[in-house]
Amino acid sequence: MNDSADIRFLLTIRDSGSLLAAARKLGLSPSAVTQRLQQLEKKLGTQLVTRTARRLRFTEEGTLLCERGAELVQQFDSLFEDLQARRGGLVGTLKINAPLGFGRRHLAPVIAAFQQHNPDIDVALTLSDQPLTEAMERFDIVVHIGELPVSNLVGYAIAPNGRFVCASPALIKRVGTPASPDALSGLPCIVLRENGEDVSLWQFSKGRTRRSVRVAPHLSCNDGDVIRQWACEGRGIILRSEWDVADDLARGKLVRLLPDWKAPDADVIALTHRRTGLPARTRQFMHYLQSSFRPQPPWRK
């Protein structure tokens, strides 16, 4: 194995999940992929993949080769991309994963502008309602909003973002204004399902006082635009990110409730697999992304 081609071949099999899918991605016949895999295993003197009719599983040696090999391939690519950048341009493919609503409204325009400035870069944006549960190794950057679970990923601050309890004027007129977080448990609420979180437990603080309230949502959805629209229609109270409700608050479609009580912030961060050795395109996009939300993000202008 004197170049990166064999490692890239094995990584394609891993990412594809099957030899048939890998064959389609590589533009080869399934028999050609099987033959090449057998040749690679013979060259290394060890079995890398066990194949049955129903599943494909990597051996310990195959897993080790993929894990260590992926790092070597990325370093190899970074080296040549840095050389290309020194000659005046960024190249390659940048793979980004982001939440549905934020990605659609705020991230997509930034990505389009970045690609226009760097026409030799291809950007693949994937929007998901559960970005942290995706196969992280498939992406160069994952945009996340809120507290980050324990992880070995490296986070970069992008923009501040609070969370507000909101309702429409019509709903407030009908059910009244809650005087404390505890009152929310008896009022109609709407929740957003995302990242497998406990979304019906709402937490607040006021000075040193803490409150945790279990709401009973009659409506829920995995799309933030849907629950925001439901709230504007007077169907319930929502706890949503500042970036999502700022426009509706300014227009009077929603009213902020319990302004003296603070919900945990949900700042916008970008995640990478490591801090050093990132390709030039990833580093440059990260700088571009951060500068696009400074000195104030659009929802605070």
Residue-level pLDDT at 1: 47
**CATH code, domain with 40:** 1.10.10.10
Q: Are residues 9 and 58 in the same domain?
A: yes
Considering the domain architecture, whether residues 110 and 245 belong to the same structural domain is answered as: no
In a domain, 88, yes or no: no
Judgement on whether residues 53 and 187 belong to the same structural domain of the protein: no
CATH (domain of 103)? 3.40.190.10
- What is the reported pLDDT for 193? 86
Same domain, 143 and 271: yes
Quick check: is 262 in a domain? no
Length of the chain: 301
The predicted model scores a pTM of 0.71
78 and 206 together in one domain: no
Q: Which residues contact 134 (CB under 8 A, 6 or more apart)?
A: 97, 126, 128, 142
Q: How many domains does the chain have?
A: 3
Instruction: Decide if 244 is inside a domain.
Output: yes
**Consecutive 10-residue averages of pLDDT for the chain (301 residues):** 76 85 86 89 89 79 86 75 63 89 95 93 88 69 85 88 97 96 96 83 95 94 94 97 96 97 95 82 93 94 83
For 11, the 3-state DSSP assignment is helix
Of 33, 59, 82, the domain-final residue: 82
Residue 175 pLDDT = 95
Establish if 87 belongs to a structural domain: no
Q: Is the domain of 44 the same as that of 178? A: no
- What is the distance between the alpha carbons of residues 240 and 256, in angstroms, rounded to a whole number? 10
- Give the distance from CA 80 to its chain's centroid: 27
- pLDDT reported for residue 268: 96
For residue 83, what pLDDT is reported? 67
CA-to-CA dists, residue 9 to 39, 57, 73, 95, angstroms: 12, 16, 11, 19
Pairing of strands 268-272, 141-145: antiparallel
> What gap in Å lies between CA 153 and CA 142, rounded to an integer?
10
Residues 197 and 279 in one domain: no
Residues 71 and 109 in one domain: no
Full domain range(s) for residue 244? 163-257
